[in-house]
Amino acid sequence: MASGSGPTERHWGGGFTLVEVLISAGILTLFLGSAFLIFRSGSRSFITGSWRTHEQKAVQIMFGELARELEQSTPSMLRVNADGTNVSVMDTPIYINNIIYSTNGIPKNASMNLSKWTCLMVFSITRPFYEANATFSTPIVPGRWSGVSLWARQRVLRVLRTGNPTLFGTTPDTMPGTVLRVPGAALVTAAGDFRPDTEFNRNRDVTACLDRLSVVASSTNPTALRLIGRFVRIENGVPGTVQFEQSITVKLASNSVVTSFLQP
């Protein structure tokens, strides 16, 4: 009698049972679900990492440019007379909005989700006017002026630098009335003692992810300022959990004056 020809062999050779099919389908479902979760997690991590890299680079460039300009800021518009004496035509302090400025070393972390354009900082970069000197046969050297302002609205940070005093006082909104020492069109003219410096004009939005901003000093007469920004990734219109902080310390000229102002 031949072996291996019974019913048992014919059963196993005929296919899978329903239970085996259900178990296999369950295992396949678990595998595919796990693969999808791994893919989704990896994709999300990639998007988050790309956002952070892009934003940090943009912020570093912006903070670096702003720091260089602050280091060049001048406390007054100077006229150098032929005899070598200096006369201040106008004092031009660094103005910083009180909502972000502190002098006790503790950041205020002011929200930048502002409903309208809000002026945060104003300062001037001026080159002196030199009077003609007959003794040394030196001609008149006109002074040069440009202004820098920092604004924020709905987490967007806007930096403006221009030699046009009219544009400077009205863009992107009217300059606060509490910012008093800003030269107007009567003082900065194309043929005047102080002329528009247009070499470094710029007006651009830097980032739409600025959540908080602080400018910190250690005293009321600071020699340095620390800018601290917190940036957050916006997801579905609201701040998410992905964020980073960027800061930079700026050394000021020895005779710089910093004045806080209130936004009306």
Least confident residue range of 4-13, 29-38, 88-97, 155-164 = 4-13
pLDDT tens digits, residue range 31-65?
Answer: 776 666 665 655 567 567 788 888 888 888 889 99
Integer Cα distance of 96 and 217 in angstroms: 11
Evaluate whether 121 touches 97 at the Cβ level (below 8 Å): yes
The tokens describing 95, both together, are 């103005």
Instruction: Quote the pLDDT of residue 10.
Output: 46
Evaluate whether 175 touches 70 at the Cβ level (below 8 Å): no
With DSSP H G I counted as helix, E B as strand and the rest as coil, what are the percentages for the chain, rounded to 5?
A: 25, 35, 40
Q: What are phi and psi of 52, to 5 degrees?
A: -60, -45
Integer Cα distance of 258 and 93 in angstroms: 6
State which H helix or E strand residue 52 sits in: helix 18-72
Integer Cα distance of 222 and 16 in angstroms: 82
Instruction: Quote the pLDDT of residue 23.
Output: 78
Number of Cβ atoms within 10 Å of the Cβ of 159: 18
pLDDT tens digits, residue range 11-28?
Answer: 445 566 877 777 777 787
Instruction: Quote the pLDDT of residue 27.
Output: 80
Integer Cα distance of 98 and 118 in angstroms: 12
Evaluate whether 76 touches 91 at the Cβ level (below 8 Å): yes
Q: Three-state SS string across 68-110, please?
A: HHHHHCCCEEEEECCCCCEEEEEECCEEEECCCEECCCCCCCE
Confidence band (pLDDT; 50, 70, 90) for 8?
very low
Instruction: Quote the pLDDT of residue 30.
Output: 80
The dihedral through the CA atoms of 37, 39, 43, 46 has a sign that is: positive
Average confidence score pLDDT of the chain: 86
